[in-house]
Amino acid sequence: MQALCKPSNTATDIHCNVCGQGFALYWSRTSLEERETAREKIAEALELHHATTDSAQAHPRSGFNVPDWSGLARFSGAALLGGAEAWAI
């Protein structure tokens, strides 16, 4: 399952355990079990950002996908199926 993570200071679905940055999530599927599994992977990805980058710039400023996707975030399955507005990504 793919999730699009969009940094947000207002509407947040998950927070980074390291820095507290909030993210809105857009899902490619809506099963509760799949979302819970994806949340764990998203939390791991957010922590990995801090392990591989300077903490001040740890997270991408625009939307990104978990798992990684090589295309533009706005064209990902999670963005299209999750209802993310293309202008907001």
pLDDT in tens, 38-59: 899 999 999 999 998 877 689 9
Cα 75 → chain centroid: 14
Sheet of strand 14-15, all strands in order from the earlier edge strand to the far edge: 14-15, 22-27, 3-7, 64-66
Across the range 23-49, mean pLDDT stands at 86
Q: Contact 26/3 with Cβ under 8 angstroms?
A: yes
At residue 53, the pLDDT reads 80
Q: Contact 28/81 with Cβ under 8 angstroms?
A: yes
Enter the pTM of the model. 0.74
Distance between CA atoms of residues 49 and 56, nearest Å: 11
What are the residue ranges of helices labelled H in the chain? 32-52, 77-82
Across the range 50-72, mean pLDDT stands at 76
